[in-house]
Chains A and B, each alone.
Chain A
Amino acid sequence: MKRSNAPLFWLPFGAGGMLAALTGTMLVFITGIAVPLGWTLRAELMSYPHVLALAQHGWARGLLLAVIALFAWHAVHRIFHSLHDLGIHSGATAKLVCYGGAFALTVITAASLWSIAH
Chain B
Amino acid sequence: MPEPKNIEICVLRYHPEHDPEPAWRSYQVPCTDDMSVLQGLQHIKDEIDGTLGFRWSCRMAICGSCGMMVNGKPRLSCQTFLRDLQPGPVRIEALAHLPIERDLIVDVGEFVNKLEAIKPYLIPREPRTLAEGEYLQTPAQLERFEQYTSCINCMLCYAACPEYGLNRDFIGPGVIALLHRYNADSRDGGQAQRQPILNAEEGVWSCMAVGYCSEVCPKQVDPANAVNQNKAVSARDYFLRFLAPKGAAP
Contacts and interface: CB of A to CB of B under 8 A. Distances in A.
Interface of A: 1-8, 10-11, 81, 84
Interface stretch (B83-91, B99-107, B176-184, B201-209): B201-209
Given A1-B203, A4-B205, 5 more contacts: A2-B201, A5-B238, A6-B205, A7-B205, A10-B205
B235 A4 contact: no
Interface stretch (B16-24, B31-39, B192-200): B192-200
B239 interface: yes
Interface of B: 166, 196-197, 199-203, 205, 208, 231, 234-235, 238-239
A84 B166 contact: yes
Contacts of A3: 196, 199-200, 238
Across the A-B interface, the 6 shortest Cβ-Cβ residue pairs: A1-B200, A6-B205, A7-B235, A7-B238, A4-B201, A4-B205
Contacts of A5: 238
A10 B197 contact: no
A5 B239 CA distance: 10
A81 B205 contact: no
By secondary structure, the B interface counts as helix
Contacts of A7: 205, 234-235, 238-239
A6 B239 CA distance: 11
A1 B114 CA distance: 12
Contacts of B238: 3, 5, 7-8
A10 B199 contact: no
B241 to A, nearest CB: 9
A1 B197 contact: yes
Contact of B231 (A8, A10, A84): A10
A1 B205 contact: no
Given A6-B205, A7-B239, A1 B199 contact: yes
B166 A2 contact: no
A2 B200 CA distance: 5
B208 A81 contact: yes
Nearest to B241: A3
Nearest to B195: A3
Nearest to A8: B238
Given A81-B208, A84-B166, A4 B231 contact: no
A84 B200 CA distance: 21
Contacts of B200: 1-4
22 contacts: A1-B196, A1-B197, A1-B199, A1-B200, A1-B203, A2-B200, A2-B201, A3-B196, A3-B199, A4-B199, A4-B200, A4-B201, A4-B203, A4-B205, A5-B238, A6-B201, A7-B234, A7-B235, A8-B238, A10-B231, A11-B235, A84-B166
